[in-house]
Amino acid sequence: MTVKLDILSDPICPWCYIGKTQLDRALAQRPAHPFVVEWHPFQLNPEMPREGMGRREYLVAKFGEDGADTTYGQIADHARSLGIEADFDAITRTPNTLDAHRLIHWAGLEAVQGPVVDGLFRANFVEGRDISQHDVLADVADQAGMDASVVLRLLATSEDEQMIRDRDAHSRKMGVTSVPTFIVAQKHAVPGAQPVDLWLKVMDEIIAQLAEEEAAGEEAAPKE
Protein backbone atom coordinates (compact mmCIF):
# COMPACT_ATOMS: atom_id res chain seq x y z
CA MET A 1 0.00 0.00 0.00
CA THR A 2 1.12 3.54 -0.70
CA VAL A 3 0.45 7.00 0.67
CA LYS A 4 0.49 10.17 -1.41
CA LEU A 5 2.93 12.89 -0.40
CA ASP A 6 2.14 16.13 -2.23
CA ILE A 7 4.83 18.80 -2.04
CA LEU A 8 4.23 22.46 -2.81
CA SER A 9 7.53 24.09 -3.59
CA ASP A 10 9.44 26.65 -5.63
CA PRO A 11 12.91 25.76 -7.00
CA ILE A 12 14.34 29.13 -5.90
CA CYS A 13 13.13 28.67 -2.30
CA PRO A 14 16.12 27.82 -0.06
CA TRP A 15 13.90 26.24 2.58
CA CYS A 16 12.39 24.01 -0.12
CA TYR A 17 15.89 22.88 -1.07
CA ILE A 18 16.76 22.21 2.56
CA GLY A 19 13.40 20.50 3.14
CA LYS A 20 13.81 18.18 0.16
CA THR A 21 17.33 17.26 1.21
CA GLN A 22 16.12 16.35 4.68
CA LEU A 23 13.19 14.36 3.29
CA ASP A 24 15.51 12.50 0.90
CA ARG A 25 17.80 11.58 3.79
CA ALA A 26 14.86 10.16 5.69
CA LEU A 27 13.58 8.24 2.67
CA ALA A 28 17.04 6.72 2.21
CA GLN A 29 16.80 5.33 5.74
CA ARG A 30 13.44 3.73 4.97
CA PRO A 31 13.86 2.07 1.56
CA ALA A 32 10.41 0.46 1.92
CA HIS A 33 8.74 3.79 2.66
CA PRO A 34 5.09 4.12 1.58
CA PHE A 35 5.30 7.56 -0.05
CA VAL A 36 4.41 8.33 -3.63
CA VAL A 37 5.70 11.88 -4.16
CA GLU A 38 4.20 14.52 -6.44
CA TRP A 39 5.49 18.09 -6.77
CA HIS A 40 3.14 21.05 -7.19
CA PRO A 41 3.77 24.66 -8.28
CA PHE A 42 3.91 27.59 -5.88
CA GLN A 43 5.76 30.72 -6.99
CA LEU A 44 7.40 32.76 -4.26
CA ASN A 45 7.24 35.74 -6.59
CA PRO A 46 4.29 35.31 -8.98
CA GLU A 47 4.57 38.95 -10.08
CA MET A 48 8.27 38.66 -10.94
CA PRO A 49 9.01 39.90 -14.49
CA ARG A 50 9.61 37.01 -16.88
CA GLU A 51 13.22 38.14 -17.30
CA GLY A 52 13.78 38.09 -13.53
CA MET A 53 15.82 40.71 -11.68
CA GLY A 54 19.22 41.19 -10.07
CA ARG A 55 19.64 39.14 -6.91
CA ARG A 56 20.81 42.00 -4.71
CA GLU A 57 18.03 44.27 -5.94
CA TYR A 58 15.48 41.57 -5.17
CA LEU A 59 16.79 40.84 -1.66
CA VAL A 60 16.99 44.50 -0.68
CA ALA A 61 13.46 45.12 -1.97
CA LYS A 62 12.16 42.14 0.02
CA PHE A 63 14.18 42.31 3.23
CA GLY A 64 15.82 45.75 3.33
CA GLU A 65 19.54 46.52 3.09
CA ASP A 66 20.45 44.97 6.43
CA GLY A 67 17.81 42.26 6.35
CA ALA A 68 19.05 40.87 3.04
CA ASP A 69 22.44 39.96 4.47
CA THR A 70 21.07 38.77 7.82
CA THR A 71 18.32 36.58 6.39
CA TYR A 72 20.42 34.76 3.84
CA GLY A 73 23.39 34.58 6.18
CA GLN A 74 21.21 32.65 8.63
CA ILE A 75 19.90 30.36 5.89
CA ALA A 76 23.45 29.69 4.66
CA ASP A 77 24.58 28.91 8.20
CA HIS A 78 21.68 26.50 8.68
CA ALA A 79 22.37 24.70 5.39
CA ARG A 80 26.05 24.43 6.30
CA SER A 81 25.21 23.00 9.74
CA LEU A 82 23.23 20.23 8.01
CA GLY A 83 25.98 19.48 5.52
CA ILE A 84 23.90 20.72 2.60
CA GLU A 85 25.89 21.97 -0.38
CA ALA A 86 25.00 25.53 -1.42
CA ASP A 87 26.71 28.62 -2.78
CA PHE A 88 24.35 31.52 -2.24
CA ASP A 89 26.98 34.03 -3.34
CA ALA A 90 27.00 32.45 -6.80
CA ILE A 91 23.36 33.42 -7.39
CA THR A 92 23.37 36.70 -9.30
CA ARG A 93 19.77 36.82 -10.51
CA THR A 94 16.39 35.93 -9.05
CA PRO A 95 14.40 34.31 -11.85
CA ASN A 96 10.74 34.02 -12.62
CA THR A 97 10.05 30.31 -12.06
CA LEU A 98 6.97 29.82 -14.24
CA ASP A 99 8.97 27.95 -16.89
CA ALA A 100 10.74 25.87 -14.23
CA HIS A 101 7.33 24.82 -12.90
CA ARG A 102 6.23 23.93 -16.41
CA LEU A 103 9.28 21.69 -16.68
CA ILE A 104 8.47 20.03 -13.33
CA HIS A 105 4.93 19.37 -14.58
CA TRP A 106 6.19 17.80 -17.83
CA ALA A 107 8.70 15.76 -15.83
CA GLY A 108 5.78 14.34 -13.87
CA LEU A 109 4.25 13.05 -17.10
CA GLU A 110 7.48 11.12 -17.68
CA ALA A 111 7.87 9.98 -14.06
CA VAL A 112 11.11 11.93 -13.53
CA GLN A 113 9.91 14.75 -11.28
CA GLY A 114 12.40 13.89 -8.54
CA PRO A 115 15.51 14.09 -10.74
CA VAL A 116 14.26 17.31 -12.39
CA VAL A 117 13.53 18.98 -9.05
CA ASP A 118 16.98 17.90 -7.84
CA GLY A 119 18.52 19.30 -11.00
CA LEU A 120 16.76 22.64 -10.62
CA PHE A 121 17.81 22.98 -6.99
CA ARG A 122 21.40 22.13 -7.87
CA ALA A 123 21.48 24.51 -10.84
CA ASN A 124 20.20 27.38 -8.70
CA PHE A 125 21.75 26.83 -5.28
CA VAL A 126 25.02 25.06 -6.08
CA GLU A 127 25.93 26.22 -9.58
CA GLY A 128 24.37 29.70 -9.52
CA ARG A 129 22.67 29.20 -12.90
CA ASP A 130 19.60 31.17 -13.98
CA ILE A 131 16.79 28.59 -14.08
CA SER A 132 14.55 30.89 -16.09
CA GLN A 133 16.87 30.43 -19.08
CA HIS A 134 15.56 27.86 -21.52
CA ASP A 135 18.98 26.35 -22.21
CA VAL A 136 19.50 25.76 -18.50
CA LEU A 137 16.08 24.12 -18.19
CA ALA A 138 16.78 21.96 -21.24
CA ASP A 139 20.08 20.88 -19.70
CA VAL A 140 18.34 19.93 -16.45
CA ALA A 141 15.74 18.00 -18.45
CA ASP A 142 18.41 16.20 -20.46
CA GLN A 143 20.28 15.11 -17.33
CA ALA A 144 17.00 13.66 -15.99
CA GLY A 145 16.49 11.63 -19.15
CA MET A 146 13.99 13.88 -20.91
CA ASP A 147 14.26 14.94 -24.55
CA ALA A 148 15.86 18.38 -24.38
CA SER A 149 14.79 19.31 -27.91
CA VAL A 150 11.13 18.63 -27.07
CA VAL A 151 11.45 20.65 -23.87
CA LEU A 152 12.93 23.58 -25.78
CA ARG A 153 10.09 23.50 -28.29
CA LEU A 154 7.50 23.47 -25.49
CA LEU A 155 9.24 26.27 -23.61
CA ALA A 156 9.04 28.43 -26.74
CA THR A 157 5.23 28.22 -26.52
CA SER A 158 2.74 29.17 -23.79
CA GLU A 159 1.86 25.50 -23.24
CA ASP A 160 0.58 24.87 -19.68
CA GLU A 161 1.38 28.38 -18.45
CA GLN A 162 -2.18 29.14 -17.40
CA MET A 163 -2.56 25.71 -15.81
CA ILE A 164 0.49 26.39 -13.61
CA ARG A 165 -0.91 29.79 -12.62
CA ASP A 166 -4.28 28.24 -11.84
CA ARG A 167 -2.78 25.50 -9.66
CA ASP A 168 -0.70 28.10 -7.80
CA ALA A 169 -3.80 30.24 -7.24
CA HIS A 170 -5.79 27.20 -6.07
CA SER A 171 -3.18 26.40 -3.42
CA ARG A 172 -3.31 29.97 -2.11
CA LYS A 173 -7.10 29.82 -2.05
CA MET A 174 -6.87 26.64 0.03
CA GLY A 175 -4.76 28.50 2.59
CA VAL A 176 -1.16 27.76 1.60
CA THR A 177 0.91 30.86 2.31
CA SER A 178 4.48 29.55 2.31
CA VAL A 179 6.63 26.73 1.02
CA PRO A 180 7.65 24.06 1.38
CA THR A 181 4.32 22.60 2.38
CA PHE A 182 4.02 18.83 2.54
CA ILE A 183 0.56 17.24 2.45
CA VAL A 184 0.43 13.66 3.73
CA ALA A 185 -2.35 11.38 2.45
CA GLN A 186 -4.26 14.43 1.17
CA LYS A 187 -5.18 15.17 4.81
CA HIS A 188 -2.33 16.41 6.96
CA ALA A 189 -0.34 19.53 6.05
CA VAL A 190 3.25 19.69 7.30
CA PRO A 191 4.68 23.17 6.67
CA GLY A 192 8.35 24.06 6.56
CA ALA A 193 11.68 22.28 6.15
CA GLN A 194 11.31 19.43 8.63
CA PRO A 195 14.19 17.47 10.18
CA VAL A 196 15.02 13.89 9.27
CA ASP A 197 13.80 12.55 12.62
CA LEU A 198 10.32 13.94 12.10
CA TRP A 199 10.00 12.25 8.70
CA LEU A 200 11.25 8.97 10.15
CA LYS A 201 8.61 9.18 12.87
CA VAL A 202 5.88 9.98 10.34
CA MET A 203 6.89 7.11 8.07
CA ASP A 204 7.16 4.62 10.93
CA GLU A 205 3.67 5.55 12.13
CA ILE A 206 2.24 5.19 8.63
CA ILE A 207 4.00 1.86 8.05
CA ALA A 208 2.65 0.52 11.36
CA GLN A 209 -0.85 1.75 10.55
CA LEU A 210 -0.79 0.18 7.09
CA ALA A 211 0.43 -3.12 8.58
CA GLU A 212 -2.44 -3.08 11.10
CA GLU A 213 -4.97 -2.39 8.36
CA GLU A 214 -3.55 -5.19 6.23
CA ALA A 215 -3.67 -7.62 9.14
CA ALA A 216 -7.23 -6.63 9.96
CA GLY A 217 -8.20 -7.15 6.33
CA GLU A 218 -6.70 -10.63 6.32
CA GLU A 219 -8.57 -11.55 9.49
CA ALA A 220 -11.84 -10.30 8.05
CA ALA A 221 -11.37 -12.18 4.79
CA PRO A 222 -13.53 -15.32 4.44
CA LYS A 223 -11.65 -18.56 5.07
CA GLU A 224 -11.80 -21.20 2.38
The CA radius of gyration of the chain, in Å to the nearest whole number, is 19
pLDDT value of residue 67: 87
Q: What is the pLDDT along the chain (224 residues), one digit of tens a residue?
A: 899 999 999 999 999 999 999 999 999 999 999 999 999 999 999 999 999 999 999 999 999 988 888 998 999 999 999 999 999 999 999 999 999 999 999 999 999 999 999 999 999 999 999 999 999 999 999 999 999 999 999 999 999 999 999 999 999 999 999 999 999 999 999 999 999 999 999 999 999 999 998 888 776 666 65
pLDDT value of residue 133: 98
Query: Is the distance from CB of 45 to CB of 96 less than 8 angstroms?
Result: yes
Delimit the domains of the chain by residue range: 3-220
Rounded to whole angstroms, what are the CA distances from 87 to 58, 195, 223?
Answer: 17, 21, 61
Spell out the alpha helix ranges (H) of the chain: 14-29, 55-63, 65-81, 98-109, 113-121, 134-143, 148-155, 161-173, 196-220
pLDDT value of residue 222: 67
> How many Å apart are CA 193 and CA 161, to the nearest integer?
27
Q: What letter represents residue 222's amino acid?
A: P
Residue 114: which residues within 8 A CB-CB, separation 6 or more?
Answer: 37
The CATH architecture to which 3-220 belongs is: 3-Layer(aba) Sandwich (3.40)
For 144, phi then psi, to 5°, come to -90, 0
> How many Å apart are CA 194 and CA 208, to the nearest integer?
21
